[in-house]
Each structure stands twice: as C-alpha cells, then as structure tokens.
Amino acid sequence: MLAKNYDKEGTKISFTGGETVMISPKLDGIRCIVTFDKQNQQILFFSRAGTLFDCCDALIEPHLRHLFEMDESLVLDGELYNDFANQKRIRHYLQHRPKNSANDSPFDRVFPKLCRKPTTGKNGREKLYQDISFEQLVSAIRTTRGKRTEEVAAKQRLLQYHIFDVMYSSQFVESPTLDGSHYPFSHRYNLLLSMLSDLAKYNKKHLGKSVYDATVIQPVPALVAENEEQVEAALGTAMQVGFEGIMVRREGSATDSPKRSVKRSRRSSSAGVFGGYECGKRSSSLLKYKKMQDDEFIIVGAVEGKGKLKGRLGAFVCQAKKNKGLTFTVTPATTEQKKKEMWSVWSKSYKGKALTVQYQDLTPDGIPRFPVGKCIRGAASGEDWI
C-alpha cells in the first residue's frame, strides 16, 4: 500500500462531513514487510520491492516470533528504524513546549507516553543515545550475515521494527483470503495494539534479561485529527522532533462500508474512502505530508572538494529527470572520512547508480532546490533498491 501526496489530495478530506482522519509520524526508515514461512517455520523480512533482508536475526526476529507462532497467516507492514535521535528531541520538546497553546498538536497527547527515561551508568551520568544515521541504517540493512563485520553487527543490533499496519491476519474473518482490505485502518490498528500488548508481556516473561528489549518492537502512533489545523500542528511537531513528516489516513464516514464506499467514490472525491488495506496500490486513503521531498537521481559525475577538502568527494553530479541534458551537484550527507573513501572509487562504485536526494522543491526545469544526498539507493534500474 503506497501513499499519495497530501498537498494534492488533502483538499478532498471532509472534516465537517464526518470523515475519520488519523495521523502518524512519518519515519525516515526502510519499509519492511514481515511474513512467515510455514514450511520452514521462519520469519521472513522483505523490502517493498521484494528483497529479502538478512539483518534482523539478532533481536527483531526473536522478539516477533511469538506473534507468528500464534498466527501463521500474519503479515505486518512497518519500517526498520532507530528512534534514539527522536527520543532526545521529544524530551527537549516536552520540556520547552508552551503550555495551553491554541495550536496544540494531537501528538502532544502521546509524546509523554513515548518518551523513555534515559538510562544511566554507574557514575550516575546519562548514557549517550546510540544514534544511527540514515546512511548507516541502509548499510546495516543491506549487509548479509555472511559479510557482516563486528561493527556492522553492532549497527544491526540497533535496528528496531516500527509497525504501522496489519496486512493479513487469521482474525480478518470477513475476508476470504484473510487480508485487511475489508477492514478500515482503525480496526487494523486496534488489532495491532492488542497483539503488541500481549507480545510485550510474553517477551518480558520468556526472552530473558539478556535478550528482551522493550524498544525493539514498537507500534507507530496513530491519532485522530479533528480538523485541518490539527493536521498542520501535527506536521510542525513531528518535524520539530526529527520525523520526516506525517502520514494521514482517511476512512470516510463511520457508516461507510466497502461496497458503499465504491459507489459513493464515483460521485464525490470527498466521500467514499473506506480505508481498507490496498496491496500494491497507491491509495487515496493514505497520504504523506512533508515539507522536504525526496527522489532518486542518476549519478553521472563527481566533483573534488577544494582547499582543505581536496582529495575528498565534494559533490556528485546528477542528471535531471525532466530534461536529461541538465545536471546539478549534490553534496552527500556523510562523514569527511567517508567522502575521502568515496572520491577514490567514485567512478567504479557510484557512477551510474541512483542517489536518493532530499530537496525543498523543483525549479521549472526540474532541478532540485537545496539538495542533499541521503544515500546510494542502488542500480539505476531499481532492481536492487530496498
């Protein structure tokens, strides 16, 4: 299930017409579908494109196993992520937010519950949160068991699975194939919360102190937004604490059913959104809302750094999409040491690859404004993207 843009679809939402709207923070992680191989009794982790991940065996797999032992038809939708950086920002936000603001965000109700107490060492000082950059996240996820070093294994142990939806479940009895298409998001989300609550109790009792970690498996918060102002306030709050933006889910009115939804959607763009899970489709019931955009661009060249940065990668040269005769430069968001390594091998390792670029907007010619290179996505064809 893929999202459409809130900027284009948000005007179709009817807050005054009884439509149910739920919002969640948009994580800057890697999409991950989790399913179960009944024949081999294995939990499998897949990218959106179907790439099998081999990075979740240390903590995520043992923390999820009981769920799939109870329901072998279960399929979960979420992201591999690490929320430690968000935790620091949430704590700061809660300490400094204005009281009784007229523009209170719906997230203000849930952040106090999400904010974990910092752990302390023997000397009483707060332990540093173990942040992991997006580049490190992608590298840890891509690395297979046979090729991982101790350093990569340590990064993989920092991975968390943040779940935002249930695609299939034995509890979806109204669907012949047990998929979530017959159930609105609020129903699927309540099922998810119930399952994860039971799972946490089981894991705490059976995994043991050396393995159990309450942060490894988490539901992505989802809250009702009653009007457009709350959506805007939620976006601002989410970005303030380090999230990429928000996800907006539409369910139509409380009296809608899937069949009525189809009939009504032919008459009105503001009604008839049921919110059932739509596998493989870009859905009007799921909208992404963020200020910064991102897309993939092909690397066609590179520029060496100047002055003290000589001998390092200064910027990649990427090809515009709208007019392939135009190019632009984009600096990768990585360390100076990594830029030094990249410069020595850029032609062999990066030329012709797709670079994920974050930017504010596009010029009329299709050139990104204020671009930053997030990570190397993979081959230009997209065959190995995660």
Q: What is the CATH number of the domain that holds 349?
A: 2.40.50.140
For 343, the domain range is 293-379
Q: Are residues 55 and 191 in the same domain?
A: yes
Residue 126 has pLDDT above 70, yes or no: no
Residue 76 burial (CB count, 10 A): 26
Task: Give the residue from 219, 239, 260 where a domain finishes.
Answer: 219
Q: Are residues 297 and 149 in the same domain?
A: no
274 domain-assigned: no
110 domain-assigned: no
Query: What Å distances lie between residue 144 and 98, 136, 156, CA to CA?
Result: 46, 14, 10
List the one residue out of 163, 83, 92 whose CA is nearest residue 131. Answer: 83
349 domain-assigned: yes
Residue 273: its H or E element: none
Lowest mean pLDDT among 98-102, 132-136, 193-197, 354-358: 98-102
Residue 46 has pLDDT above 60, yes or no: yes
- Looking at residues 14-26, what average pLDDT do you find? 91
Strand-pairing partners, residue 235, are none
Query: pLDDT of 318-367, one tens digit each?
Result: 999 988 899 999 999 999 999 999 999 999 999 999 999 999 999 999 99
Distance CA 180, CA 249 (A): 15
pLDDT bin (cut points 50, 70, 90) of residue 104 is confident
pLDDT for residue 17: 83
Work out how many domains the chain is built from and give that number.
Answer: 2
Residue 267 has pLDDT above 50, yes or no: no
284 domain-assigned: no
Task: Give the residue from 219, 248, 270 where a domain finishes.
Answer: 219
Task: Please say whether the dihedral angle defined by the alpha carbons of residues 338, 341, 344 and 350, taken in this order, is positive or negative.
Answer: negative
Query: What Å distances lie between residue 71 and 40, 50, 68, CA to CA?
Result: 15, 22, 5
Q: What is the CATH number of the domain that holds 204?
A: 3.30.470.30
Q: Are residues 71 and 161 in the same domain?
A: yes
pLDDT for residue 98: 72
Residue 333: both structure tokens together: 């968001």
Phi, psi of 163 (to 5 degrees): -100, 130
Q: Return the SS3 of 384.
A: coil
More confident residue, 132 or 246: 246
Residue 28 burial (CB count, 10 A): 19
pLDDT for residue 275: 82
262 domain-assigned: no
Lowest mean pLDDT among 131-135, 254-258, 287-291, 312-316: 254-258
Q: Are residues 63 and 209 in the same domain?
A: yes
The β-bridge relationship of strands 2-5 and 19-26 is: unpaired
- Looking at residues 207-227, what average pLDDT do you find? 94
- Looking at residues 65-74, what average pLDDT do you find? 97
CA quadruple 205, 208, 209, 211: dihedral, nearest 10: -120
Lowest mean pLDDT among 128-142, 180-194, 307-321, 362-376: 128-142
14 domain-assigned: no
pLDDT for residue 76: 98
pLDDT for residue 362: 93
> 26 with 221: CB under 8 angstroms?
no
Q: Are residues 209 and 302 in the same domain?
A: no
The β-bridge relationship of strands 327-332 and 372-379 is: parallel
Residue 200: both structure tokens together: 């946490």
Query: pLDDT of 221-241, one tens digit each?
Result: 999 999 999 999 999 999 999
* CB-neighbour burial class of residue 352 (10 A; exposed 0-12, middle 13-18, buried 19+): exposed
pLDDT for residue 329: 97
| Residue percentage of the chain with pLDDT more than 90 | 73
93 domain-assigned: no
- Looking at residues 16-42, what average pLDDT do you find? 94
Query: pLDDT of 148-199, one tens digit each?
Result: 999 999 999 999 999 999 999 999 998 889 999 999 999 999 999 999 999 9
Q: Are residues 199 and 52 in the same domain?
A: yes
pLDDT for residue 237: 94
Q: Return the SS3 of 317.
A: strand
Q: Are residues 69 and 178 in the same domain?
A: yes
19 domain-assigned: no
The β-bridge relationship of strands 282-289 and 2-5 is: parallel
| DSSP string for residues in 191-254 | HHHHHHHHHHHHHHHHT-TTT--TTSEEEPP-EE--SHHHHHHHHHHHHHTT--EEEEEEEEET
- The number of CA neighbours under 13 Å toward the Cβ of 150 is 0
Task: Please say whether the dihedral angle defined by the alpha carbons of residues 310, 311, 312 and 315, taken in this order, is positive or negative.
Answer: positive
- Looking at residues 80-85, what average pLDDT do you find? 94
Residue 260 has pLDDT above 80, yes or no: no
Name the pTM for this structure. Answer: 0.86
Task: Give the residue from 195, 219, 243 where a domain finishes.
Answer: 219
pLDDT for residue 96: 86
